[in-house]
Amino acid sequence: DDLYALRYSSNVYQYKIAIEVGNGNYQKNKALKIDESAFQKYRDMYASFGLGVKTEIDLPVESLGYSGKSKLSGHLLDFSIGQYDTYTPIQLSQYINTLANGGTRLKPYLLKEVYSASANGEDIFGDLVYASTKDILGAVDVETEHMDRVRLGFSQVVSDGLGRGYMGYYTNSGGKTGTSQSFIDTDGNGV
């Protein structure tokens, strides 16, 4: 089920979901054909969590990561397990925070507050000069029960799944296992 798939990082489970989203029909030893619109369905959902879109962090330049162009069926399967498009660390942070916030995507900030120097030299802070605001960028269009189910699965990853014990034994925590991949063409031959 979905909880087991999260707890033990089941690629096969995600492949089956991707085939269903792409209206495909898997048959052993035959080519898999999917509806190419499935790529956009995935990207739209991922974007609602902050993946593949600007996070609007308070920096002058922000990268988007890589968005694959191929519509091959096998690439949809790769995409469903997080190994086709790539995301920036701040996008991954926003994604996790959106899950933690129950589906509300917030603008991330590096700078929270700025104070002037203390006038009398005794106080730690002077007057408040700047304070960031809580900016809501959007909300994930998923029923609460489904969002809670994902959060439960992430909790099970660290309580009794593949992530058990890696970060200590904290209560009320969660995680997601997986493999980070990148491609670096060191000799410029495209392979």
pLDDT tens sequence across 133-179: 999 999 999 999 999 999 999 999 988 888 888 777 777 788 888 76
Phi/psi for 138 (5° steps) reads: 165, 180
Q: What is the pTM of this model?
A: 0.83
**Percent of the chain with pLDDT strictly greater than 70:** 95
Residue-wise pLDDT for 74-111, tens only, equals: 999 999 998 889 999 999 999 999 999 999 999 999 99
Q: What is the pLDDT of residue 171?
A: 75
> Is the CA virtual torsion 10, 11, 12, 18 positive or negative?
positive
Locate 64 and state its tokens. Answer: 């988007």
Helices (H), ranges, 50-143? 73-80, 89-100
- Strands (E) in the chain, as ranges, are 104-106, 113-115, 128-131, 136-139
pLDDT score at 118: 86
Our CA dihedral for 143, 147, 148, 152, rounded to 10 degrees, sits at: 150
Q: What is the pLDDT of residue 183?
A: 61
